[in-house]
């Protein structure tokens, strides 16, 4: 194949809730349907490989416990690598616990402080009431402008610093904190969201936006042939109508 994306699934052993890893299958499949290769590498805790070879990095969600388990490994150098890759324009899709990890810190409801990587200017504080349910949001124009339907389940309330753009605006549900109407964060090619599980199959426009960003960065051009998304769009519309 003429073009290929190298995809890294970071911390699949601890950050992979509700089938988050299905997002990788979706990205890979939508690339292969277009004749673009996809090579997926898993880097669990303790893996020695660097992030340098990758065009796209995926980090899923995890409960407070898993987020604490990986801290030692994170601060053994992964934190610096992640920050460098983000600054270099590598595409990141980070979900819930993985998204929170991109910020400065997370203080759990029972007062435990997790120091994260500070790649983007956000902090998260655990609350008593979990924010659970199907939800939807409208992505900002710079994040492609599509409407995303998803499932959220978090106690953390995330607050963005003044200069950080959200990923979108909540249309139904809680999003970042249930207060300010923002959902997720977008910085360079880093996309953080609370949308759990395999979010990409039922949000094909959002998936293609990520793939296009990675291909453009790598090859300076991107020709993603249109696909027949009738089934995917029907799933999206059905869930959207229910929410």
Q: Which residues are catalytic?
A: 96, 196
Q: Which is nearer to ligand GLN, 16 or 213 (CB)?
A: 16
Nearest to 42 by CA among 10, 88, 4, 74: 10
Residue 153 makes contact with ligand GLN by CB under 6 A: yes
One residue of 62, 173, 192, 204 binding ligand GLN per CB under 6 A: 62
- Closest CB 90 distance from ligand GLN, rounded Å: 22
67 binds ligand GLN (CB under 6 A): yes
Within residues 194-233, the interface with ligand GLN by CB under 6 A covers none
Q: Which is nearer to ligand GLN, 60 or 144 (CB)?
A: 60
Taking CB under 6 A as the binding criterion, the range among 80-88, 150-158, 172-180, 182-190 that sits at the site for ligand GLN is: 150-158
Smallest gap from residue 107 Cβ to ligand GLN (A): 11
Size of the site for ligand GLN (CB under 6 A): 12
Q: What is the 3-state secondary structure (H, E, C) of the chain?
A: CCCEEEEEEECCCCCCCCCCCHHHHHHHHHHHCCCCEEEEEEECCCCCCCCCCCCEEEECCCCHHHHHHCHHHHHHHHHHHHHHHHHCCCEEEEECHHHHCCCCEEECCCCCEEECCCCCCEEEEEEEEEEEEEEEEEECHHHCCCEEEEEEEEEEEEEECCCCECCEEEEECCCCCCCCCEECEEECCEEEECCCCCCCCCCHHHHHHHHHHHHHHHHCCCCCCCCCCHHHHHHHHHHHHHC
The answer to whether residue 175 forms part of the interface with ligand GLN (CB under 6 A) is no
**Residue of the chain from 155, 159, 171, 229 that contacts ligand GLN (CB under 6 A):** 155
| Closer residue to ligand GLN (CB): 144 or 150 | 150
Closest approach, Cβ 230 to ligand GLN, in A, equals: 31
List interacting residues with ligand GLN (CB under 6 A).
Answer: 17, 61-64, 67, 96-97, 153-156
């Amino acid at each position: 194949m003429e073009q290929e994306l190298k995809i890294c699934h970071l911390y699949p052993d601890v950050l992979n809730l509700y089938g988050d890893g299905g997002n990788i299958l979706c990205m890979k499949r939508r690339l292969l349907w277009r004749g673009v290769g996809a090579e997926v590498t898993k880097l669990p805790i303790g893996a020695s490989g660097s992030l340098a070879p990758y065009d796209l990095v995926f980090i899923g969600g995890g409960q407070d416990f898993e987020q604490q388990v990986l801290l030692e490994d994170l601060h053994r150098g992964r934190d610096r690598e992640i920050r460098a890759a983000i600054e270099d324009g590598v595409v990141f899709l980070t979900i819930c616990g993985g998204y929170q990890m991109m910020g400065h810190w997370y203080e759990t409801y029972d007062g435990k402080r997790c120091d994260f990587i500070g790649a983007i200017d956000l902090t998260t504080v655990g609350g008593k009431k979990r924010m659970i349910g199907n939800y939807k949001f409208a992505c900002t124009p710079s994040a492609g402008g599509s409407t995303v339907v998803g499932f959220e389940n978090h106690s953390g309330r995330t607050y963005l610093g003044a200069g950080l753009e959200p990923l979108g605006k909540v249309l139904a549900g809680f999003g970042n904190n249930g207060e300010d109407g923002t959902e997720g964060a977008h910085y360079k090619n880093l996309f953080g969201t609370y949308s759990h599980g395999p979010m990409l199959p039922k949000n094909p426009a959002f998936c293609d936006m990520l793939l296009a960003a990675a291909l453009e960065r790598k090859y300076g051009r991107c020709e993603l042939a249109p696909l027949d998304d009738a089934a995917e769009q029907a799933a999206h519309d059905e869930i959207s109508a229910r929410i």
